[in-house]
Amino acid sequence: MRVSTNQIQMGAINAMLDQQEGLSRVQKQVATGKRVLAPADDPVAAAQTINLRDSLGRTEQLQRNINHARGRLTLEEGVLDGVTKILQRVRELSVMGNNASQTNDTRGYIAEEILQLNDELVGLANTMDSDGEFLFAGSKGRFKPFSRNDEGDYLYYGDDTQRFVRVGPRRQIAINDTGTQVFRKIREGNGTFIVTESKNNTGSGVLDQGSSKGHYDFGVYAMIMDKSNSVDPNAPLTYKIIDENGKVIVPSTKFAEGNAITFEGVQMFILGEPEPGDYFVIRPSQHQDVFTTLQKLAESLKDPRNTAADHAFLHNDVNRALASIDTALGNILDVRASIGTRLNALESQRSINEAFGIQLKELISNIEDLDFGQAVSELNGRKVGLEASQKAFVKVQDISLFNHLY
């Protein structure tokens, strides 16, 4: 078979081009520090790298989620710290206003401060985060959650949805607490039942808010004050307790100021001197938002009190408010404890994600990164090969039959 001069030249040129391409590839590997520059270099390694980078991207997104959640929960915890301080101050003012040494004027000043604190409390409940969303609006983050209507009622425009963010492959963390959980789901009185007096009472009986003794059945009861059947004006005051159907639970019993009154899981006492015909109602606690509690407290402190009965109404109103404020403070404490638990969980998950991210980067490095010693050796070898092929091409190119003719 005859090989033409052109074929010889083209073969030599192609060989040089192959050497140049190999040299260029090794140069790029050395320059970038990467062994795999394109999927064709190592298809299996390229596929593995793509999967690992996807996992690394997801892990980095989880870390961003953690940063967002941590910022939001930290802000909420700071807001609740402010709420706690306001409620503690209102409690101090309530005790102060309940003191017999106060006058109608001084109680009015105390009421004004409580109203200012209540406005501040509503402002905290309407706090926005860095994204312009309201913290306590549930899933309706763009809606201002709390406002007061013309009738004086506090309305809630959020919802009761708790929002979650994914912080781990199989882990989610709640990043908010709703307005209902924090400010509205507060039970009156002692949290189980509440004791109220008739507005027609004429005596000076002052109630404590009682406590559960045994099993309270969430019934409604009335405690009715009376005199024993006697013409003697010094006859002892008695009381009886009936349920909402009129059934007598406790028959007529001599009343003694400060003595425990116990029935159907309820334990309470009364100070002062109730009058015959006065009565008190024990009913299950209902939810009342903390803003309404403070508003009613201030209004009660503002009302003029001139008689013993008036002062008894004041003391009873303040005692109920104090019990509700204590319940609200306990609720805020529970929410703050929950936030602390979630912040700890975020930090723990952050550490897990960081460790996993480092492992992924090491795996990617093991697949992609270049062995510089081997690469430099290959670079030198290809450089020598290219120079040899170039010299050989020059030698072959000079060979011609005409050079041997005379």
Ramachandran bin of 35, using left for φ above 0, alpha for ψ from -120 to 50, beta for the remaining angles: alpha
Q: Residue 25 domain-assigned?
A: no
Residues 183 and 61 in one domain: yes
Residues 197 and 184 in one domain: no
Q: Residue 350 domain-assigned?
A: yes
**Number of residues in the chain:** 406
Q: Residue 146 domain-assigned?
A: yes
Cβ neighbours of residue 136 under 8 Å, at least 6 residues apart?
125, 126, 127, 145, 146, 158, 176, 177, 178, 179, 182, 183
Q: Residue 37 domain-assigned?
A: no
311-350: pLDDT as tens digits? 999 999 999 999 999 999 999 999 999 999 999 999 999 9
Containing domain of residue 132, as a range?
52-188+323-357
Residues 165 and 80 in one domain: yes
**Cα first-last separation, the chain:** 28
Q: Which of these ranges, 180-184, 267-271, 284-288, 398-402, has the smallest mean pLDDT?
A: 398-402
Q: Residue 74 domain-assigned?
A: yes
Cα angle for residues 182, 188, 237 (degrees, 5° grid) = 165
Mean pLDDT of 117-135: 95
Q: What is the DSSP string of 137-202?
A: STT-TTS--EEE-TTS-EEE-S-SPPPEEEEETTEEEE----HIIIII--BSTTSSEEEEE-TT--
Residues 253 and 162 in one domain: no
Q: Residue 218 corresponds to which amino acid?
A: F
Residues 62 and 174 in one domain: yes
In 264-383, the DSSP E strands lie at: 266-268, 270-271, 279-284
Residues 259 and 141 in one domain: no
Residues 62 and 151 in one domain: yes
Residues 77 and 182 in one domain: yes
Residues 56 and 184 in one domain: yes
pLDDT in the model for residue 372 = 47
Domain boundary among 258, 284, 310: 284
Higher pLDDT, 375 or 28: 28
138-194: pLDDT as tens digits? 999 999 999 999 888 999 999 999 999 999 999 999 999 999 999 999 998 888 999
| Token duo for residue 88 | 């503690």
- Model pTM? 0.79
73-84: pLDDT as tens digits? 999 999 999 999
Whether 113 has a pLDDT exceeding 50, the answer reads: yes
Q: Residue 314 domain-assigned?
A: no
**CATH no. for residue 172?**
1.20.1330.10
Domain boundary among 284, 312, 342: 284
210-262: pLDDT as tens digits? 888 878 889 999 999 998 655 566 778 999 999 999 999 999 999 999 999 99
Residues 127 and 236 in one domain: no
* Of residues 73, 66, 76, 74, the one with CA closest to residue 348: 66
Mean per-residue pLDDT over the chain, rounded: 84
Residues 240 and 180 in one domain: no
Number of domains in the chain: 2
Residues 273 and 173 in one domain: no
